[in-house]
């Protein structure tokens, strides 16, 4: 006989409706596999009249989210409304009243996660967030449980499906940015406000969550240095390819010399690196440590269906805990570590400039880099008569030194433009 557990939804958009469909219309298969009868008791939305692509039994929809949280028949609250308000207060209310919460909300976890996890621990209930990072890829539980004993040194990869989809289509098919962004929204990959995706904010929240779990030091989303993909041009893609690179939006969290560096930015990845062939909304995350070497987690990073699978796994885990009568104690502890200043981040760089095509120009430019201790690895020039495109790849250099060199470069009489400055993936480190 199946055991009944009541679940309530805060939100029924792309992700919520995918999970609601499964809970309502695939309940037999879930019960057969888990022994659980997960019963949807209420669903809070903004617009009661909206077509959600599924038939929702009468009486379940409400536009009063508190009614779902306060419903005594709801034991697990599934938060898939997104954003900080009112999601944060509703989750806190649910936890304080002894309900388990499952959420896909990375923005919320990256800003209020520490307090919410503490509230969950006090109440003896679970707050699970596998769906907040990597869509359908299991990465939160591996980091917080399976790898809890490893001294993780870095977590690095592609954690935003929308931007990877956009970059793939732009690079491979030359489709315009606005058109591909609209496709990503249509496919349900993008956030309600897609500036969070294209501006790097979504990846920054995910990087903060991954870093906090990997290094055991709380990293707030606002502390993550980020740059989005909005300023990349088709010309950047063309020149990058000529030098053997493809642009990817990478999240990079590193622990070294007793400090943590967490950042998100477009990075030129060598075409023969495995990350270069991660296409569309797929995500790929490398986790490295002295004993494990390197693990790669990859799979669908966005979209309603894969994310619903991650949420459902958490709901099943919470339901099992409930039925076992487990008083859940937080499995996660956060210490305080030092976050490295952005000026100290080191990487290789590609600088693309338009310069005067005449003798002595290269020497002037090389002198600028030399003065700022930035070592040039390779130079590529395409002369066009009066002007030339000049591409320089540097050895690994700190961001602070590079920025000083670039601003001096921009002031040289022989330099017409600094067209772009991009970080290059460092395979040697």
Q: Which of 81, 261, 302, 310 binds ligand HSE (CB under 6 A)?
A: 302
Nearer to ligand HSE, 110 or 316 (CB): 110
Stretch that binds ligand HSE, among 160-168, 233-241, 292-300, 363-371 (CB under 6 A): 160-168
Smallest separation (angstroms) from ligand NAP to the CB of 297: 15
Q: Rounded to the nearest whole angstrom, what is the least distance from the CB of residue 167 to ligand NAP in the complex? A: 17
Q: Which of 23, 30, 69, 81 touches ligand NAP by CB under 6 A?
A: 81
- Minimum CB separation from ligand HSE for residue 199, in Å? 12
Gap between the Cα atoms of 146 and 149, Å rounded: 8
409 contacts ligand NAP (rule: CB under 6 A): no
Peptide bond into 409 cis (omega under 30): no
Distance, CA of 233 to CA of 88 (rounded, Å):
37
- The answer to whether residues 217 and 260 touch, using CB atoms and an 8 Å cutoff, is yes
Q: String of b and e for 183-192 (b: at least 16 CB within 10 Å)?
A: bbbebbbbbe
Matching residue, tokens 């869509």: 135
| Distance of alpha carbon 242 from the chain centroid | 28
Whole-angstrom distance, CA of residue 370 vs CA of residue 375:
7
Separation CA 355–CA 417 (nearest Å): 7
Give the strand order in the sheet containing 100-103: 61-62, 36-44, 3-10, 76-79, 100-103, 127-128
Q: Binding string to ligand HSE for residues 175 to 194, with x set by CB under 6 A, is what?
A: --------------xxx---
Does residue 135 touch ligand NAP according to CB under 6 A? yes
Instruction: Measure the CA–CA gap between 292 and 357, rounded to whole angstroms.
Output: 51
Interface residue with ligand HSE, options 126, 160, 389, 394 (CB under 6 A): 160
Among 61, 68, 131, 208, binds ligand NAP (CB under 6 A): 131
Of the residues 33, 73, 99, 206, only one is catalytic, namely 206
Please say if 206 is a catalytic residue.
Answer: yes
- Residues in region 31-50 near ligand NAP by CB under 6 A: 44-47, 50
Q: Are 166 and 177 in contact (CB under 8 A)?
A: yes
Reduced to 3 states (helix: H, G, I; strand: E, B; else coil), residue 267 is strand
Shortest CB 130 distance to ligand NAP, Å:
10
> Regarding beta strands 245-256 and 259-270, do their DSSP bridges make them parallel or antiparallel, or are they unpaired?
antiparallel
Going residue by residue from 203 to 232, which x/- string records binding to ligand NAP, judged by CB under 6 A? ------------------------------
List residues near ligand NAP by CB under 6 A: 11-16, 44-47, 50, 65, 80-82, 86, 104-106, 131, 135, 188-189, 191-192, 302-303, 307
Catalytic site positions? 206
List residues near ligand HSE by CB under 6 A: 135, 160-162, 189-191, 197, 202, 301-302
């Amino acid at each position: 006989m199946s055991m009944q557990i009541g679940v309530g939804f805060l939100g029924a958009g792309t992700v919520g409706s995918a999970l609601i469909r499964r809970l309502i219309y695939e309940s037999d298969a879930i019960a057969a596999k888990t022994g659980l009868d997960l019963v949807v008791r209420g669903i809070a939305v903004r617009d009661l009249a909206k077509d959600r692509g599924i038939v929702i039994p009468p009486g379940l929809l409400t536009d009063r989210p508190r009614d779902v949280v306060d419903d005594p028949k709801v034991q697990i609250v599934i938060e898939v409304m997104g954003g900080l308000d009112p999601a944060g207060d509703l989750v806190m209310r649910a936890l304080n009243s002894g309900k388990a919460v499952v959420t896909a909300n990375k923005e919320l976890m990256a800003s209020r996660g520490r307090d919410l996890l503490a509230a969950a621990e006090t109440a003896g209930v679970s707050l699970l967030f596998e769906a907040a990072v990597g869509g359908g890829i299991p990465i939160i539980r591996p980091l917080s449980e399976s790898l809890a004993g490893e001294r993780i040194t870095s977590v690095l990869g592609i954690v935003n499906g929308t931007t990877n989809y956009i970059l793939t289509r732009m690079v491979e098919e030359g489709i315009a940015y606005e058109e591909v962004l609209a496709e990503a929204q249509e496919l349900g990959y993008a956030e309600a406000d897609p500036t969070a995706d294209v501006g790097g904010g979504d990846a920054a929240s995910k990087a903060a969550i991954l870093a906090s779990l990997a290094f055991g030091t709380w990293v707030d989303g606002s502390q993550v240095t980020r740059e989005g993909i909005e300023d990349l041009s088709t010309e950047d893609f063309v020149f990058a390819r000529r030098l053997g690179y493809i642009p990817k939006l990478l999240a990079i969290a590193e622990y070294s010399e007793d400090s943590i560096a967490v950042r998100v930015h477009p990075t030129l990845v060598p075409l023969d690196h495995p990350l270069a062939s991660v296409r569309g909304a797929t995500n790929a995350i490398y986790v490295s440590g002295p004993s494990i070497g390197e693990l790669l987690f990859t799979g669908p990073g966005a979209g309603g269906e894969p994310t619903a699978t991650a949420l459902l796994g958490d709901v099943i885990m919470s339901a099992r805990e409930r039925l076992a009568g487990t008083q859940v104690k937080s499995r996660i502890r956060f210490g305080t570590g030092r976050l490295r200043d952005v000026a100290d981040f080191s990487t290789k760089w590609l600088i693309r400039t338009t310069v005067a095509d005449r003798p002595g120009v290269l020497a002037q430019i090389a002198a600028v880099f030399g003065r700022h201790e930035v070592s040039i690895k390779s130079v590529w020039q395409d002369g066009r008569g009066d002007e030339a495109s000049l591409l320089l790849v540097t050895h690994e250099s700190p961001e602070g030194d590079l920025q000083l060199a670039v601003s001096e470069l921009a002031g040289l009489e022989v330099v017409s433009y600094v067209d772009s400055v991009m970080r290059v993936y460092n395979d040697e480190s």
